[in-house]
Amino acid sequence: MEATIAEKIFSSRCGREIRAGDVVMAPVDAAMIHDITGPLAIRVFREMGGERIFDPRKIIMLFDHQIPADSIPAAENHVFMREFAREQGIHNYDLREGVCHQVVMEKGRAAPGEIVVGTDSHTCTYGAGGAFATGIGSTDMGFVLKFGALYFRVPESIQVEANGTLPRRVGAKDLILSIAGDIGADGATYKALEFVGETFRSMDMPGRMTCANMAIEMGAKAGIVPPDEAAWEYITARREIEPFDLASDPNAEYAEYRQYDVADLAPQIAVPHNVDNVVDVDEVAGTKVDQVFIGSCTNGRFEDLAEAAEVLGKEQFAEGVRVIVVPASRDEYLKALRAGLIERFVEAGALFEAPCCGPCMGGAFGLLAPGEVSLSTSNRNFKGRQGSTAASVYLCSPATAAASAVYGEITDPREV
Ligand SMILES: CC(C)[C@H](C(=O)O)[C@@H](O)C(=O)O
Ligand code: SF4
């Protein structure tokens, strides 16, 4: 039988032929827990009578949402997790490395063909490298910590094919926002989104990560880019693994097909308060912004910062706009530092913060007051996502964020 990439990954990991719709107990190749959801997973593991975790080498532990601790409960969570890591022999990246999804990818902890879970909805990011990766709840993670396996209902797939070359200053984020606008916030619920076509094939790994990251914003269980040379190059630079072929069969069965030609794509904006409220930038150009956030697991990589810096050029950020730039990880931070980007952002008036989730979730800092408007390169714009429920969050690409930060209002980066 011809199979999709998602079906093939489950078949290979379970050692028998698996079809979409099957409910299987599948082994987990890696499991990520962070400072917010980790403590609950550990408590569930204990309640289940857990003493030793299934394999400490397969656990990725780190802190990124509330770092450095922004409250006493957060500090207590960190202490609790550090103790668990010591007791179980887990390598804890602690608060040094950055946002969980960036760190998992950059440390080579998710590889093509693997099943990877994390107690965070954007775990689907690792599909950029050909893993079947999905966010799970802390209760499920308690089970994974004990048994190293989990029940899955193997998803049907939606194939999204994109062809053509993205225009200047239009990038992966614009493409995925446009796809989210079409599919809708629940249009891919429990499906695997498979990204194929020449646009994805010529996209760099950071761009693929931006796209896979937002699969969950359409309700998808996973977002997968079939691994090609670029993906294998990325992973083999980080861990010892022999490349192999992994792609859907030509006649595999899909729930749906969607096709895009990106040659004329305009910069896209998700306007408040849903990710699928997507419009071309010119429909909202001129909207005044109070805060601009460039960062997150969606768009906090070096390439994103470099694109923003290129659009910024020698300009200053507009008076009255708070520009917050947060690299997604220590590695990305160092690359930005060495390339002189940090100096440029700070000179132009930005606050440059250490790697963490930052204002993305309205957690640690950068919260909005009622009535304020934020333009953000992150992935969610629900009411209250970045502070007050009476504030507004618009989502965009790093290029649009930088252009808008210079003019103090939503601006088409192609005109800068
Ligand atoms: C805190 C965590 C559970 C949450 C998620 O799962 O996505 C967060 O990272 C987010 O982006 O809202
Ligand atoms: S950067 Fe934002 S979306 Fe990503 S893990 Fe952190 S809070 Fe979640």
* Interval 300-321 mean pLDDT: 98
Contacts of residue 397, defined as CB under 8 A and 6 or more positions apart, other chains included, come to: 170, 171, 172, 173, 174, 177, 267, 268, 299, 307, 377, 413
Q: How far is the CA of 288 from the centre of ligand 1 (A)?
A: 28
Q: Is the CB of 376 under 6 A from ligand 2?
A: no
Q: Which CATH number fits domain 268-415: 3.20.20.70, 3.40.47.10, 3.30.499.10, 3.40.50.1700?
A: 3.30.499.10
Ligand 2 atom nearest to 100, measured from its CA:
5
Residue 161 identity: E
Closest residue by Cα to atom 3, ligand 1, is 120
Q: Which pLDDT tens digit goes with each residue over 67-103? A: 999 999 999 999 999 999 999 999 999 999 999 999 9
Q: What pairing do the DSSP bridges indicate for beta strands 192-196 and 222-224? A: parallel
Nearest C-alpha neighbor of 63 from the set 109, 103, 98, 91: 98
Q: Which pLDDT tens digit goes with each residue over 342-359? A: 999 999 999 999 999 999
5-241+257-261 matches 268-415 in fold = yes
Q: Do 194 and 248 meet the contact criterion of CB atoms below 8 Å apart? A: yes
* Interval 7-15 mean pLDDT: 98
Q: Which pLDDT tens digit goes with each residue over 28-74? A: 999 999 999 999 999 999 999 999 999 999 999 999 999 999 999 99
CA 413 and chain centroid, separation: 23
**pLDDT band, very low/low/confident/very high, at 384 (cuts 50, 70, 90):** very high
Contacts of residue 170, defined as CB under 8 A and 6 or more positions apart, other chains included, come to: 262, 265, 266, 267, 397, 399, 414
Closest residue by Cα to atom 2, ligand 1, is 120
Q: Kindly report the average pLDDT of the chain as a whole number.
A: 98
**pLDDT band, very low/low/confident/very high, at 1 (cuts 50, 70, 90):** confident
Ligand 2 atom nearest to 101, measured from its CA:
5
What is the pLDDT, as a whole number, of residue 364? 85
Q: How far is the CA of 136 from the centre of ligand 1 (A)?
A: 11
Q: How far is the CA of 154 from the centre of ligand 2 (A)?
A: 25
Closest residue by Cα to atom 2, ligand 2, is 360
Given the structure tokens 């910024």, which residue do they identify?
Answer: 312
What is the pLDDT, as a whole number, of residue 181? 98
- Nearest ligand for residue 125 CA: 2
Is there a cis peptide before residue 78, judged by omega within 30 degrees of 0? Answer: no
Share of the chain above pLDDT 90, in %: 99
Ligand 1 atom nearest to 36, measured from its CA:
1
Residue 363 scores a pLDDT above 90? no
Q: Is the CB of 379 under 6 A from ligand 2?
A: yes
How do the domains of the chain map onto residue ranges? 5-241+257-261, 268-415
CATH code of domain 5-241+257-261: 3.30.499.10
Closest residue by Cα to atom 12, ligand 1, is 361
Q: Do 411 and 288 meet the contact criterion of CB atoms below 8 Å apart? A: no
Determine the residue of 32, 33, 36, 297 to mutate for testing ligand 1's pocket, defined as the one with the most ligand atoms within 8 A of the Cβ atom: 36
Closest residue by Cα to atom 8, ligand 1, is 120
Extract the annotated binding site: 297, 357, 360
Q: How far is the CA of 253 from the centre of ligand 1 (A)?
A: 32
Residues 151-167, buried b or exposed e (16+ Cβ, 10 A)?
A: ebebbbbbbbbbbeebe
Q: Is the CB of 361 under 6 A from ligand 2?
A: yes
Report CA-CA distances (Å) from 388 to 66, 145, 272, 357. Answer: 18, 36, 13, 18
Q: How far is the CA of 14 from the centre of ligand 2 (A)?
A: 31
**pLDDT band, very low/low/confident/very high, at 391 (cuts 50, 70, 90):** very high
The DSSP element (H or E) to which 77 belongs, if any, is: helix 72-88
Phi, psi of 27 (to 5 degrees): -70, 150
Q: Do 269 and 172 meet the contact criterion of CB atoms below 8 Å apart? A: no
Given the structure tokens 């694109």, which residue do they identify?
Answer: 307
Note the pTM of the prediction, 2 decimals: 0.98
Q: How far is the CA of 199 from the centre of ligand 2 (A)?
A: 26
ipTM of the complex: 0.99
Contacts of residue 394, defined as CB under 8 A and 6 or more positions apart, other chains included, come to: 269, 270, 271, 272, 284, 287, 289, 373, 374, 375, 376, 381, 410
Q: Is the CB of 99 under 6 A from ligand 2?
A: yes
Q: Is the CB of 101 under 6 A from ligand 1?
A: no
Extract the annotated binding site for [4Fe-4S] cluster: 297, 357, 360
